Structure 1
Amino acid sequence: MSVALVIVSHSAQLAAGVVELAAQMAPDVVLIAAGGMDDGGIGTSLEKVMSALGLADTGDGAVVLTDLGSAVMTAEAAWEFLGSPETVLLANAPLVEGSIAAAVTAQSGASLAAVCSAAETALQAPAAAPDPGENTPAAVTEQAEDSVTAVLTLINPMGLHARPAAVLAGVLGAMDVEIEINGADAQSVMMLMTLGAAQGDELQVSATGPDAKRAVELVRTEVAAGFGEL
């Protein structure tokens, strides 16, 4: 089981499209579209959202993502009608990017809170690196000793596109590691996708933490295998 996602949109086609896209990244996650009015028109339906929340009750909870303001109000009303369950969280997140990030995180088996957080921070830029002058020599040495690095070359024709980014972010997100690829947070599918890394490009991988070596080796293995696309 994993955390489920409910996609609420004014458009049935838009909700279905987001579900279709997210499903490519997270095939084992329950994804339910609740878009449009009951008659197929543009708008949001309280009944549709309540029905979707009922279907999304997988035991691990559900995260709800919405597009525009009235969709938020409809989702809140549905949540209240169902008794404000603690197993349902309404994410304040961009619909498409948040849904993809949440789906990838749910695929990794993360908790309800972690899936919601992934949605809400989908477009958040990583924190700026601290000024080296602010670190003590001892802290810098310890960081250097714990760091694992690699330089890899992409060989698959499409490069680091959405699916490979989702594969890496999903698996790395479950590890106790801080890992970056070309300066981007490798545990964030959206940050990896912003790199626009193409076939033949080099990936500078740097990791710290208990799982650093295992994480870098996983990236090395996936890149060497062309993410299964060769």
Structure 2
Amino acid sequence: MSVGLVLVSHSAKLAEGLAEVAAQMAPDVTIVPAGGLSGGGIGTDYDEVVAAVQRADSGSGVVLLYDLGSAQMTAELAVESLPEANTAVVADAPFVEGTVAAAVAAQGGADRAAVLAAAAAAGGQPELEAHPATSAPEADRLEVVLANEVGLHARPAAVLARSLSGFEADVSVLLGDKEADAHSVLALMSLGARKGDRIEVRARGPEAAQALAKVKELVAQNFGDPA
């Protein structure tokens, strides 16, 4: 069972669209949109948020994310009204980036505290560095060409980050003069790597070779996407 997510927004379409995007990266996570008023207008509905939390909770807790100030208030009131105070928590995080980071963390099996931390950390700048950052000779290297249609965007970036989480290795991906932490979905997406781009992957650590082999396998399989 994974931590569930509730997306509290003034707009039903916004919440539903973001839930759809996040679900592409975290197919096993329950993500419940709670946007708009019951009559279809713009606003937040306390009863709907409470019901959404109940639907999202599979036993591992729930993290709520919100778009604007009054949505925060609604989310907090909903959490305070729950019979068990530790069931859910409201994240202080950017709505889109925080949802993506939280969804990927939950998909990877993180507990509620770690999912909350992942959402909050998404408020910073993507972890991009200058190209020489991991140029030390002890780093194992691999060069591959992306053949999948969308490159390292959204779901493929999430697949890569999740797949590397089990290896004892520091892995980074380089495109041109930019380098991203391969364990960060947002950083990978910020590279802007597209179909046909040649990327370099560098790894250090006891399982560096295994991590690079996994990257090569994922690229060969187009991250599960059609070429």
Q: Give aligned pairs, total.
A: 219
Structure 1 counterpart SS, 2:144: strand
- Partner SS, residue 203 of structure 1: strand
Question: Which residue is 1:72 aligned to?
Answer: 72
User: Using a 3 Å threshold, how does the CA distance of structure 1 residues 107 and 51 change in structure 2: closer, same or farther?
Assistant: same
Alignment deviations for residues 107-149 of structure 1 (CA, whole Å, 9 cap, x no partner): 11122122122222225332868x99xxxxxxx9xx754x322
Distance 1:175 1:45 in 2: 43
In structure 2, the residue matched to 1:39 is: 39
Cross-structure match for 1:206: 202
* Secondary structure at the counterpart of residue 207 of structure 1: strand
Whether contact under 8 Å (1:108, 1:174) holds in the other structure is: no
Query: Shift in Å at residue 206 of structure 1?
Result: 1.3
1:120 maps to 120
The change in CA–CA distance for 1:176 and 1:70 in structure 2 (over 3 A counts) is farther
Pair 1:215-2:216 in alignment: no
Report the Cα offset of residue 83 of structure 1.
4.9
Any idea what the Cα deviations from partners look like across 1:7-61, whole Å, max 9, x if unmatched?
0001111111111111111111101111112222111111111111111221111
Unaligned runs of 5+ in 1: 133-139
Distance 1:167 1:123 in 2: 21
Q: Provide the C-alpha distance between the structure 2 equivalents of 1:202 and 1:196, rounded to a whole number of angstroms.
A: 12
Match of 1:180 in 2: 172
Q: Deviations over 1:128-181 (max 9, x none)?
A: 68x99xxxxxxx9xx754x32212221223322222111111222344332110
Match of 1:165 among 151, 154, 157: 157
Structure 1 vs Structure 2: percent identity of aligned residues?
50
CA displacement at 1:79 relative to structure 2:
1.0
What is the identity, as a one-letter code, of the residue corresponding to 2:185? V
Conservation of the 8 A alpha-carbon contact between 2:65 and 2:93: yes
Amino acid at match of 1:112: R
How big is the shift at 1:72? 0.6
8 Å CA contact 2:8, 2:64 repeated in 1: yes
- Residue by residue, what CA displacement relative to the aligned partner does 1:197-228 show, whole Å, maximum 9, x if unpaired? 12221211112233322222111111122223
Distance 1:224 1:5, change over 3 A: same
Structure 1 residue runs of 4+, over 6 Å off? none
Letter of the structure 2 residue corresponding to residue 193 of structure 1: M
Other-structure match for 2:23: 23
> Residue 8 of structure 1 aligns to a residue in which SS?
strand
2:194 aligned with 1:193: no
Q: Distance in 2 between matches of 1:202 and 1:91?
A: 37
TM-align CA RMSD: 2.3
Structure-2 separation of matches of 1:27 and 1:158: 18
Letter in 1 for 2:127: P
CA contact (8 A) 1:110 1:174 kept: no
Task: Give me the TM-score of the superposition, normalised by structure 2.
Answer: 0.87
SS at match of 2:27: coil
